[in-house]
Structure 1
Amino acid sequence: MKTLRTFTLSSILVLIALQTSAEAEFQEYPEYAGEVVRIIDGDTLEVAVSIWPGIVATQSIRVRGIQAPEVRRSGCDEEKSWGNEASAQAERLYDLGSTVRLQNVTLGSFAGRVVADVYRWRSDRWLSFADEMVERNMAVEWYPDMPKVPWCLLSKTR
């Protein structure tokens, strides 16, 4: 009887270890494909993602690694204007219905939103949303541990 309990306990521990390992790997390297539904602003878009056959989830995606000026919660007219420019640039790069790849998907700080690396295909390679927006001066590199970008203060130095 003791051997059976030891075997059962050992089997359960092995299964838990395998499951934990599989979950860790999935969380570390998740990748999804989807279609752009709309551009919310210069660093956020809405994407329809096929999560299972016949099941599509539409999700707000915050692009990892950048901060663009706000349109809705702007602190001054200049920020809103820059935010509109960034949104328009994102719309030119990411057409509605275009395919995107989402990598390193994690939960965001706002309910219903996730953070991810976002890429689009251009004839020969995948292009990073974050890199494209920074290269075009529509956003700046930014991570959650950094202070909020003072767009209105920056407008006074322009």
Structure 2
Amino acid sequence: MDRRYIFLFMIYRLIPFLAAALPVLLAAASSHASESGRKIDIAGPVTAEVIRVIDGDTILVAAKPWPQQTMEVYVRLRGIDAPELKSACSATRDAGRQAREALNSLTVGQGPIQLTHISGDKYFGRVVADMHLSDGRNPAQEMLSAGYVTPYDGGGKPKTCSNGW
């Protein structure tokens, strides 16, 4: 028998199987696509060590999500917004430095921290989370109470120098 005929015969025999498998494959693909657009939250807690404070609302941590595994990740503290360190406004830059120093003072020497309510951020490679120090304090709330930061819900931010910073 000619090779072309053998190949066509094999394809002909596979058609019923392919026709039966196609709906299953399409359903699986659409299910995966809908899951990829869904926001995923991790309740935590995830234990971490603060590596350094980036600014008044972001830290770099060494997180330990499971035994014998450590990963470095930038964490935006949920619910607050600090003045920008790279602002065109000198008062905002000064306030940003004060906020960074205040967060640094809260976290230095605190030992392990706990991250909870962890979710993805709008910037790749960073997460948003609630953070609790080893003594139970929430640095975001401490920063808000002291006036270093403002409440933030993920919306737009004012870009003026007249907001007190």
Interval of TM-score (by shorter of Structure 1 and Structure 2): 0.7 to 0.9
Q: 1:78 aligns with which of 77, 83, 91?
A: 91
Superposed CA deviations along residues 96-118 of structure 1, whole A, max 9, x for unmatched, are 57211101000001110000001
2:80 counterpart residue number: 66
Contact 1:100 1:118 in 2 (8 A): yes
SS state at 1:59 partner: strand
Unaligned segments of structure 1, at least 5 residues: 1-19, 21-25
Unaligned segments of structure 2, at least 5 residues: 1-34
Measured in 2, the distance between the counterparts of 1:94 and 1:151 equals 29
Contact 1:66 1:141 in 2 (8 A): yes
Larger Cα Rg: Structure 1 or Structure 2? 2
Aligned length: 128
Superposed CA deviations along residues 5-51 of structure 1, whole A, max 9, x for unmatched, are xxxxxxxxxxxxxxx9xxxxx93623201000000000000110112
2:161 counterpart residue number: 152
TM-score scaled by length of structure 1 = 0.73
% same residue:
28
Q: Alpha carbon RMSD of aligned pairs, Å? A: 2.2
Shift of 1:54: 2.1
1:131 counterpart residue number: 141
Contact 1:43 1:67 in 2 (8 A): yes
Superposed CA deviations along residues 62-95 of structure 1, whole A, max 9, x for unmatched, are 0000001011x31311111000000011111101
Q: 2:130 aligns with which of 111, 117, 137?
A: 117
The equivalences for 1:15-26 within 5 A come to none
Q: In the superposition, relative to structure 1, how do residues 44 and 78 fare at CA in structure 2: closer, same or farther (>3 Å)? A: same
Superposed CA deviations along residues 92-145 of structure 1, whole A, max 9, x for unmatched, are 1101572111010000011100000011022xxx11111000011110111113
Q: In the superposition, relative to structure 1, how do residues 149 and 134 fare at CA in structure 2: closer, same or farther (>3 Å)? A: farther
Contact 1:39 1:91 in 2 (8 A): yes
Structure with the bigger percentage of strand: 1
Q: In the superposition, relative to structure 1, how do residues 28 and 98 fare at CA in structure 2: closer, same or farther (>3 Å)? A: closer
Contact 2:49 2:61 in 1 (8 A): yes
Contact 1:100 1:120 in 2 (8 A): yes
